[in-house]
């Protein structure tokens, strides 16, 4: 019987299965209820018990080989038939959208990358701050308006005075308290002010503040650093100017303007016909701040600057409503794909 099984196996391997008709005939002949393999199993019942083990194994292998050949040939045809039924090639292609960085994230990364080239390292701190890091260490007097409820979000705590940070200068205080000199750091992050939400103001926004402390740091170093940033970000033809101002933690203090990138300084509606656009505030670190953070103000000096990311984004993207940045409107956000 072994010879008969081998002969049938060779016949099954050589059978022509190139058409659906041949496949159907092959299935009926070998695997049908009255087929060849069914007949072999009937003969197997009368085989000598001593030979059943060997012949049974050969018979099972034959059946498996026939079934495997059918599966191998029929499956691609079934899948193709299924595919052609469910797909309509006349339909337009499906457009798959990809995500993108938020415009404020892109601006932040671009600014940080510029300052990293000249040695600034990014630092982070908590958004809930105590009075010391948010106000007192930065030379805010006890009666300063920023400490009032109408300007700051204070948190109820019976044991200490905490608030949502009003600037990322609090991170600079933490860096000065814990780092070895010299210090060259950037502090990007979200800050909070108790303001009415409008096209020009929001109760939260984003800042990037910079701090450099070393021996013999001067106002000229500050101006050169900011001029380097302005030319990298706005273009090599841009000019800057410093106007006297006041901040509790810097002395002297200044506001920094850049020449309008739209009118090249000649005057337009964006710059209110002044030829200049305000971008940030800056100044030399007040000696009181250095001393409060454990730094000898007679040996070391430094400068600090801070800018609103939304403000810089407005100048670059000409977005006139701050609320658009936090409303998650995809029609707005999709315009800023890299």
> Where are the chain's structural domains?
2-86, 103-336
Question: For position 191, what pLDDT does the model report?
Answer: 95
Q: Residue 242 forms beta bridges with which residues? A: 256
- E strand or H helix at 253, and its extent? strand 250-259
Distances (CA, A) of 123 to 64, 116, 173, 211, 261: 68, 12, 11, 11, 31
Q: Residue 162 forms beta bridges with which residues? A: 130, 155
Question: For position 122, what pLDDT does the model report?
Answer: 95
Question: For position 158, what pLDDT does the model report?
Answer: 62
pTM score: 0.68
Q: Which residues of 286-314 are buried (b: 16+ CB within 10 A; e: fewer)?
A: bbebbebbebebeebbbbbbbbbbbbbbb
Question: For position 86, what pLDDT does the model report?
Answer: 59
User: How far is Cα 85 from Cα 97, in angstroms, rounded to an integer?
Assistant: 27
What is the mean pLDDT, run by run of 10 residues, along the chain of 338 residues?
80 78 80 80 78 80 80 60 60 75 93 96 94 91 73 78 92 94 96 89 93 96 97 92 94 93 76 88 96 95 96 86 89 80
User: How far is Cα 53 from Cα 86, in angstroms, rounded to an integer?
Assistant: 48
Question: For position 160, what pLDDT does the model report?
Answer: 67
**Phi first, then psi: what are they for 13, rounded to 5°?**
-70, -30
Question: For position 2, what pLDDT does the model report?
Answer: 79
- Give the CA count within 13 Å in the CB-facing half-sphere of 23: 13
**E strand intervals along 59-198:** 121-122, 128-130, 154-155, 162-164, 183-192
Question: For position 159, what pLDDT does the model report?
Answer: 61
Give the pairing of strands 128-130 and 121-122: unpaired
CATH of the domain spanning 103-336, picked from 3.40.605.10, 3.40.50.2000, 3.50.30.60, 3.30.930.10: 3.30.930.10
């Amino acid at each position: 019987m072994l010879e008969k099984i081998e002969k049938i196996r060779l016949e099954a391997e050589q059978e022509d299965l190139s058409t659906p008709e041949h496949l159907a005939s092959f299935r009926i002949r070998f695997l049908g209820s009255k087929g060849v393999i069914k007949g072999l199993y009937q003969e197997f019942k009368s085989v000598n018990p001593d030979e059943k083990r060997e012949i049974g194994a050969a018979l099972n292998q034959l059946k498996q080989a026939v079934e495997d050949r059918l599966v191998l040939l029929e499956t691609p045809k079934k899948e193709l038939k299924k595919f052609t039924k469910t797909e309509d090639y006349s339909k337009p292609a499906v457009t798959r959208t990809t995500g993108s960085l938020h415009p404020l994230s892109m601006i932040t990364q671009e600014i940080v990358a510029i300052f990293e080239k000249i040695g600034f390292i990014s630092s982070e701190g908590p958004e809930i701050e105590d009075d010391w890091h948010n106000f007192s260490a930065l030379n805010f007097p006890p009666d300063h308006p920023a400490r009032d409820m109408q300007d700051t979000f204070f948190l109820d705590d019976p044991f200490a005075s905490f608030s949502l940070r009003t600037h990322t200068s609090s991170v600079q205080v933490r860096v000065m308290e814990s780092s070895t000199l010299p210090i060259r750091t950037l502090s990007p992050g979200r800050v909070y002010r108790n303001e009415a939400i409008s096209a020009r103001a929001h109760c939260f926004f984003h800042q990037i503040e910079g701090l450099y402390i070393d021996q013999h740091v001067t106002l000229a170093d500050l101006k050169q650093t900011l001029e380097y940033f302005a030319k990298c970000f706005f273009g090599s033809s841009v000019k800057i100017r410093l106007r006297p101002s006041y901040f509790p933690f810097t002395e002297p203090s200044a506001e920094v303007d850049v020449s309008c990138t739209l009118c090249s300084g000649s005057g337009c509606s964006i710059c209110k016909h002044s030829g200049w656009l305000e971008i940030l505030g800056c100044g030399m670190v007040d000696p009181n701040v250095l001393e409060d953070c454990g730094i000898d103000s007679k040996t070391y000096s430094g400068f600090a600057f801070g800018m609103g990311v939304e403000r810089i984004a407005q100048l670059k993207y000409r977005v006139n409503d701050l609320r658009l940045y936090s409303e998650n409107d995809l029609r707005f956000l999709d315009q800023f794909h890299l």
